[in-house]
Amino acid sequence: MPYITVGKENHIDIKIHYEDHGTGKPIVLIHGFPLSGAAWEKQVAVLLKAGHRVVTYDRRGFGLSSQPSIGYNYDTLADDLHTLITQLDLRDVTLVGHSMGTGEITRYLGTFGSKLISRAVLIAPIPPFLLKTKDNQTGVDSSVFEGMKAAIVKDRPAFIAEFFKNFYNTDKNLGTLVSKERIQVDFNLGTSASAIGTLACVSAWLTDFRRDLPKIDIPCLIIQGGADRILPIEATGTILAKLIKARLVKIPDGPHAVAWTHSDLVNKEILNFLSEGALTQSSQIKDDVPLQSEK
């Protein structure tokens, strides 16, 4: 299996597992919490067929990557992404992130710029800033995140099982847009992740990305479900689209996991975005996208 080394903890190498397939302009897919690069299975084959080189990787602590006790902050996670891009000698890259993966993209662009990056797709984004503060009244109260951390410490598998109910909106979508078997696969991935990393990632979600946003100078596409219960669109995608002048595609009734539940639509939007010329710097919100059932 292919790995890159991104650092050390004591004498032990910290290694990131990745997959690299196809030829053409590269696309790097960055998964959400608490999954791995395998979460992109409904996108990889489509992007390869369209003639792209597709790279997926597992965030430190997750999937087949090392499980160190350190580095679960967005500065380090963006460094990990930069190491992957430079060691694979990628140029003219499109970054596609889901949920937590959109934080890596935002901090990467804020830190390293867009010299190697041509465009970005942010699916169910975590920026600009989740935490409710005096200057961010649309954010979420800190008690919510403290409760999540307490639940992880008390019974991490139980927390993960509950998390996926809201990840897919199973009360509405189970048996139609998502199967119990898919949720079981995700549960297995989530419970096999680092316990330390799982807990630490909740604190990382509270990163303030607002200083990174003015440095984003490439075309961006935001895709998000209108019924996202993990990262409500009103506090994330809607605000972010205005701040970075991105195009926002809103999927009515779509849950957090739209890349799975509405993969046909998400894939179509990504491919259209990749084939476009320079985007106009105006926010265009699509509220009329029809629901599509999983085949």
Answer whether 261's CB lies under 8 Å from 236's CB.
Answer: no
Catalytic residues: 99, 228, 256
Residue 89: Cβ within 10 Å count: 8
Query: What is the distance between the alpha carbons of residues 246 and 239, in angstroms, rounded to a whole number?
Result: 10
Task: Write out the chain in H/E/C secondary structure.
Answer: CCEEEEEEECCEEEEEEEEEECCCCEEEEECCCCCCHHHHHHHHHHHHHCCCEEEEECCCCCCCCCCCCCCCCHHHHHHHHHHHHHHCCCCCEEEEEECHHHHHHHHHHHHHCCCCEEEEEEECCCCCCCECECCECCCECHHHHHHHHHHHHHCHHHHHHHHHHHHHCHHHHECCCECHHHHHHHHHHHHHCCHHHHHHHHHHCCCCCCCCHHHCCCCEEEEEECCCCCCCHHHCHHHHHHHHCCEEEEECCCCCCHHHHCHHHHHHHHHHHHHCCCCCCCCCEECCCCCCCCC
Query: What is the distance between the alpha carbons of residues 121 and 232, in angstroms, rounded to a whole number?
Result: 18
Q: In the structure encoding, which two tokens stand for residue 268, read together?
A: 């179509």
Q: Which residues contact 95 (CB under 8 A, 6 or more apart)?
A: 27, 28, 30, 105, 108, 117, 119, 120, 121
